[in-house]
Amino acid sequence: MQAAPSALPAPDRVLDTSGTLCPWPIVETARAVKAMADGAVLLVVATDAGIATDMPMWCKATRHEHLATWRDGPAWKSLVRKRARRP
């Protein structure tokens, strides 16, 4: 089993999307991030390998910060930091 990359922040919230397929991990991520404070970090756990490409693309499109995505046994994990809103 692969450990989380070092020097990454601890998540403020964990979202487990295991067992769902695209687009649901991203749909649930968007819903969770919307409810979080600016700068908060979300850990998304997924079993759909598509998250490895979908999460970085979603973060780029929404301007949230993609911190990392890695494989952890049968699961994929992604860390996302919610961007701060502009005043």
22 is catalytic: yes
Question: Which entry of 12, 16, 22, 40 is annotated as an active-site residue?
Answer: 22
Dihedral sign (CA 69, 29, 38, 86)? positive
* Cβ atoms of residues 76 and 52 within 8 Å: yes
Q: Which residues are catalytic?
A: 22
